[in-house]
Amino acid sequence: MRDSCGRTIDYLRLSVTDLCNYRCQYCMPPEGVEKRLHSDILSIEELAEIAAAAVRCGVKKIRLTGGEPLVRRGLVDLCRMLRAIPGLAELCLTTNGSLLPQLARPLRDAGVDRLNISLDTLRPDRFAAMTRRGTLQDVLDGIQAAEAAGFYDLKFDTVLIGGFNDDEIEDFVELSRNHPWEMRFIELMPMGPCAGWDRSCFLPGSTVLERVPELEPLEAQGVARRYKLPGAAGTVGLISPVSHDFCADCRRVRVTSDGKLKGCLHSREEVPLRGLHGEALVNAIRQGIRQKPERHHLAERPSDTPRNMNQIGG
Ligand code: SAM
Ligand code: SF4
């Protein structure tokens, strides 16, 4: 379906929880989030019903996210239910990777097509400091488990943070040389805990091209500008929501784990979906798509959303 700006919307990011086993400094407060009542969060059946209604509205690709989707009980069942929706072309999942040793195989068997793994540093001490409670080795084990389960074309998402991991750009790019992976660098977006961070933390995606000038451009894919080291097995992606506003090409809407449809990550506007079924649910999703904001305003001011990223689904 098209929104009021004429953009085709065919991609849903569906958040299955706002809880997480990590506390990444830019995403969540150190104390985490108050655990909400079970009844405040969409049930597995409600998530599946919303997904099916979204597919009726033209969605072809669903990405499960959070919080950390792998901490959600019933996730594998949900994946199986989504895979059975006629018309859904692609089911993907974004994860911090720490629980993949246990869950990669069941997720693959349930029909998940692709995984994105978030990884901001390759150094154990930095990893522990940034996630406040994570261990790099868990994610490395998770990557192995994902490949063993058949997720070969992994995508890695690294949030570029000046003074934290910009000296690892070359190391991340290097991983694309011998692996069929896409190593993606994402600009840090000023929202939630990082909205007031020093300007030096916010680096443009072009920093990657300055550090690794041998990267050769490829065709863009979705919102990612893509590059390749000569002769490499994998690719490098730049996702630059701040410096390179890609709103005109945006094809996505989001549903939060408490059942609000968001046309834009950075907008305050939300359409409540809970309690709606059948045509009423489909109509509410259509309304949310129609009123998707034309663009965000990150170049001028921090995000307008009062939610932290874990409460939306990155
Ligand atoms: N827990 C999962 C994970 O970390 O992949 C899924 C949810 S997380 C909110 C999704 C993505 O959003 C992660 O790659 C994370 O690094 C990214 N993210 C969170 N806050 C961000 C921010 N302020 N700017 C840019 N990316 C952010
Ligand atoms: Fe959790 Fe992902 Fe946020 Fe880190 S970025 S705190 S892993 S939701």
Both structure tokens of 302: 């921090």
Q: How far is the CA of 234 from the centre of ligand 1 (A)?
A: 22
94 lines ligand 1 (CB under 6 A): yes
Ligand number nearest CA of 120 is 1
Prediction pTM value: 0.95
Would the CB of 15 count as within 6 Å of ligand 1? no
Question: 304 CA to middle of ligand 1, Å?
Answer: 17
User: How far is C-alpha 41 from the chain's CA centre?
Assistant: 19
Q: Which residues of 97-135 are buried (b: 16+ CB within 10 A; e: fewer)?
A: bbbbbebbbebbebebbbbbbbbbbbeeeebeebbeebe
* Cα separation, 12 vs 219, whole angstroms: 23
Residue 54, token pair as written in the block: 């979204």
CA distances from 251 to 1, 204, 232 (A): 10, 22, 29
Q: Which ligand is nearest to the CA of 19?
A: 2
In angstroms, the CA 77 to CA 90 distance is 17
**Which residues, including other chains, have CB under 8 Å from residue 148's CB and lie 6 or more apart?**
104, 105
55 C-beta closer than 6 A to ligand 1: no
pLDDT of the chain, 314 residues: tens digit per residue = 888 888 899 999 999 999 999 999 999 998 887 778 888 999 999 999 999 999 999 999 999 999 999 999 999 999 999 999 999 999 999 999 999 999 999 999 999 999 999 999 999 999 999 999 999 999 999 999 999 999 999 999 999 999 999 999 999 999 999 999 999 999 999 988 999 999 999 999 999 999 999 999 999 888 899 999 999 999 999 999 888 777 888 999 999 999 999 998 888 889 999 999 999 999 999 999 998 888 887 777 777 787 788 887 77
